């Protein structure tokens, strides 16, 4: 099995990582002047984190734990984490933070991608959304699974129950990542893991990097549970809107099925994650409550940045991707932006 191809560099940081992954020496460029949410730093982090998933074509597997690459990764992720802690208001009320997620945007406030796609979205916009989300959904449950050995009792049992569903409840064709690949196929998109990395802007990479950052550090287990809870609490209503959008746009049954599955499954998961996973973790380790709240808020902060990028481009009838899609492969007639 081979992984995706290495992308092009977006600056000195990602160039240094790509050089090391291609067999060169590990260089550590200075971080001065590199924005924590910028293209260069986020791509560099994504490349290093991806070594813990499916890697890249031609990159040796044993580089996953290369001391030089780990030393290079540490200041990059610390800069990312420090920026998030500065930009996300501190809070020690995990339950209240989760409750706030249940108050949905009105839709006409102009900040919700799912509201836009349901009401006004065009097929080319949904294809762009699916291409970007593939970097997340084709590894959807994987980083959350890293927290399992770090939990105990109720939290571990609840987390394992939800992950079992995410991984298809024992059936390969029901794995949620597989269902998303089926959605992409219906939309005329490439389904290969990591295929759209080159097209993804920094805002999309940051959303994926966040779960890798939380998942790879035991000290951030509370934040990962907060991230996981955010996904499960917000998934059902958002999925309902996205399923409606696909029906309005005439997408195939496989495309609709992914979101239909999440409407039902995540409505159940929401209760399990709130009462068993979050409740169980905080019963065991009450000192992690602020971390759980931070995970919730950091997730929302980065998702809002991605939504702003998408909606700003789409309202101007422009592609939100770094490399626009070939819409000639789309089902039906899709005007290019």
User: What are the pLDDT digits (tens) for 122-142?
Assistant: 999 999 999 999 999 999 889
pLDDT above 50 (res 106): no
Residues 6 or more apart whose CB falls under 8 angstroms from that of 75 comprise 28, 31
What pLDDT, on the 0 to 100 scale, is given for residue 222? 98
258, 275, 281 from 266: Cα distances, Å: 12, 14, 20
pLDDT per residue as tens digits for the range 23-63: 999 998 999 999 999 999 999 999 999 999 999 999 999 99
Amino acid 1: pLDDT = 56
* Boundaries of every domain in the chain: 12-87, 94-329
**pLDDT given at position 277:** 96
**Given this model, what pLDDT does residue 110 score?**
77
| Among the listed residues 307, 302, 304, the one whose alpha carbon sits nearest the alpha carbon of residue 36 | 302
CA angle 242/248/254 to nearest 5° reads 60
Question: Can you give the pLDDT at residue 197?
Answer: 98
Residue 107, pLDDT score? 46
pLDDT of residue 105 exceeding 80: no
Backbone Cα Rg of the chain: 19
| Segment among 47-61, 101-115, 198-212, 265-279 with least mean pLDDT | 101-115
- 9, 200 Cβ separation under 8 angstroms: no
Per DSSP, the three-state class of 74 is helix
| pLDDT recorded at residue 313 | 97
Q: Tell me, what's the pLDDT at 158?
A: 96
Which pLDDT band, with edges at 50, 70 and 90, does 217 fall under?
A: very high
pLDDT score recorded for residue 108: 54
Taking Cα atoms as reference points, which of 127, 113, 132 lies closest to residue 250? 127
Cβ-proximal residues to 164 (8 Å cutoff; 6+ apart), any chain: 170
pTM given for the model: 0.94
More confident residue, 16 or 110: 16
In this structure, the number of other CB atoms found within 10 A of the CB of residue 191 comes to: 15
pLDDT above 50: residue 215 = yes
pLDDT reported for residue 237: 87
What CATH topology corresponds to 94-329? Answer: Heme Oxygenase; Chain A (1.20.910)
Average pLDDT over all residues of the chain: 92
Res 334 pLDDT > 60: no
């Amino acid at each position: 099995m081979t992984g995706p191809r290495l992308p092009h560099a977006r600056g000195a940081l990602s160039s240094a990582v790509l050089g090391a992954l291609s067999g060169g020496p590990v260089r550590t460029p200075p971080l001065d002047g590199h924005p924590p949410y910028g293209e260069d730093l986020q791509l560099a982090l994504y490349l290093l984190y991806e070594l813990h998933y499916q890697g890249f074509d031609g990159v040796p597997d044993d580089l996953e734990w290369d001391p030089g690459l780990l030393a290079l990764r540490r200041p990059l992720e610390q800069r990312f984490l420090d920026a998030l802690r500065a930009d996300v208001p501190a809070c020690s009320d995990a339950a209240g933070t989760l409750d706030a997620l249940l108050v949905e945007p009105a839709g006409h406030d102009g900040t919700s991608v799912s509201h836009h796609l349901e009401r006004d979205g065009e097929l080319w916009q949904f294809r762009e959304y699916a291409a970007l989300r593939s970097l997340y959904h084709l590894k959807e449950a994987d980083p959350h699974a890293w927290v399992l050995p770090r939990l105990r009792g109720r939290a571990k049992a609840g987390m394992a129950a939800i992950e079992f569903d995410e991984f298809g409840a024992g059936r390969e064709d029901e794995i949620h990542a597989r269902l998303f690949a089926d959605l992409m196929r219906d939309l005329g998109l490439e389904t290969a893991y990591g295929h759209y990395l080159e097209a993804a802007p920094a805002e999309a990479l940051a959303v994926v990097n966040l779960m890798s950052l939380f998942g790879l550090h035991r000290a951030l287990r509370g934040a990962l549970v907060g991230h996981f809870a955010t996904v499960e609490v917000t998934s059902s209503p958002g999925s309902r809107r996205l399923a409606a959008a696909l029906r309005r746009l005439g997408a195939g049954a496989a495309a609709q099925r992914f979101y239909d599955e999440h409407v039902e499954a995540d409505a159940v998961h929401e209760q399990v994650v709130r009462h068993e996973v979050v409740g169980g973790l905080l019963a065991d380790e009450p000192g992690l409550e602020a971390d759980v709240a931070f995970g919730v808020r950091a997730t929302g902060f980065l998702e809002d940045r991605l939504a702003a990028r998408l909606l700003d481009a789409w309202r101007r009838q422009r592609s939100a991707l770094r490399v626009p899609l070939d819409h000639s492969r789309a089902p039906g007639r899709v005007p290019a932006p």
